[in-house]
């Protein structure tokens, strides 16, 4: 018998699969089609201090072996998430869940984490540091070690739950940013978020996305994700949640060999809503094919 179990920041997972934030809602939407308790966990929809309508439409563009989205963090705001979404989540998911948090200032990150910290269903915080820092010249929190450190330290001060910082891949040196987060109190690193992409309609001769550019994701970005997870694994001692283009059991194993303790699946959930249970069911066969008895044993095995 093979073992799919893994561990993330001291919490055991039945398997490493975690649907990524933004592609899985608050869980109950997918619970209508299968028992989501088969998952290791999931990262719920990115939550901000205030409700956000999101970006104008069109927000989605299909590309070769990938997609571009510019949803714009549409969510009901943290108060409504606690009041309306988490009770429905608890009814269908009985494991610790990952709370994905975003903000437009350090104060907003802190406010949202502090509010959600009281919720017993939340096992980890996944802090998304790739939103515009409107208090700092429009720079992105995730593009400099200093800004990422500031958010990490501030959130660390208001929660004792594991703090996983989700980094932007749109940088020249992912390692220095990951190390800065570790030094500032992060318990884990999540990478990668989407790359920045664009598509132009040849008929209209204009960008397909109303926002012109958006997050580029899907199988086409997997080599970038593998490379960044590999680099960060060599530089930090805290666990990594790896994601980016994962669409099969083989992809999961490759990501774990690069250094991931758990694996997020994003765009593939939109292509096939049953992607995660299919991959979980396929993992034992693929593990046996490659002589793997315990998934924990292969974390960072490519180094």
152-182 in b/e burial notation, b at 16+ Cβ within 10 A? bebbbebbebbbbbbbbbbbeebbebbbbbb
Q: Is the dihedral of CA 188, 216, 129, 162 positive or negative?
A: negative
Token look-up 């959930």 returns: 269
CB 257 within 8 A of CB 230: no
Tokens at 154, concatenated? 């501030």
Is 52 in a helix, a strand, or coil? strand
d(CA 27, CA 23): 10
Question: Which residue, among 120, 173, 179, 82, has the nearest Cα to 165 in the 3D structure?
Answer: 179
CB neighbourhood size of 36 (10 A):
23
Question: Which residue, among 162, 152, 142, 158, has the nearest Cα to 182 in the 3D structure?
Answer: 152
Which of 131, 155, 181, 276 is catalytic? The answer is 131
DSSP state of 276: H
Quick check: is 121 catalytic?
A: no
How many Cα atoms sit within 13 Å of 276 on the Cβ side? 29
d(CA 247, CA 64): 15
Just list the catalytic residues: 131
């Amino acid at each position: 018998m093979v073992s799919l179990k893994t561990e993330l920041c001291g919490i055991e997972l039945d398997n490493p699969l975690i649907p990524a934030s933004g592609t899985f809602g608050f869980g109950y939407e997918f619970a209508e089609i299968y028992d989501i308790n088969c998952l290791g966990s999931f990262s719920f929809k990115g939550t901000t201090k205030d409700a956000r309508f999101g970006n104008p439409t069109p927000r989605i563009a299909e590309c070769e072996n990938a997609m571009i989205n510019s949803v714009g963090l549409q969510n009901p705001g943290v108060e409504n998430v606690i009041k309306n979404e988490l009770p429905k989540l608890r009814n269908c998911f009985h494991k610790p869940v990952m709370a994905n948090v975003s903000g437009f200032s350090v104060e907003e990150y802190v406010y949202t984490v502090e509010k959600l910290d009281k919720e017993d269903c939340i096992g980890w915080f996944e802090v998304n540091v790739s939103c515009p820092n409107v208090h700092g010249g429009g720079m992105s929190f995730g593009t400099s070690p200093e800004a990422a450190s500031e958010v990490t330290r501030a959130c660390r001060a208001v929660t004792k739950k594991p703090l996983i910082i989700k980094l932007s891949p749109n940088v020249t040196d992912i390692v220095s940013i990951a190390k800065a987060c570790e030094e500032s109190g992060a318990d884990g690193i999540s990478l990668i978020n989407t790359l920045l992409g664009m598509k132009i309609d040849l008929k209209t001769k204009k960008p397909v996305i109303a926002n012109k550019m958006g997050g580029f994701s899907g199988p086409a970005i997997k080599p970038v994700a593998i490379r960044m997870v590999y680099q960060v694994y060599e530089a930090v001692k805290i666990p990594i949640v790896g994601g980016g283009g994962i669409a099969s059991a083989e992809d999961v194993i490759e990501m774990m060999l690069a250094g991931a303790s758990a694996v997020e699946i994003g765009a593939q959930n939109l292509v096939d809503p049953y992607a995660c249970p299919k991959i979980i069911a396929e993992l034992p066969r693929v593990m046996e094919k490659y002589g793997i008895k315990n998934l924990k044993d292969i974390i960072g095995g490519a180094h």
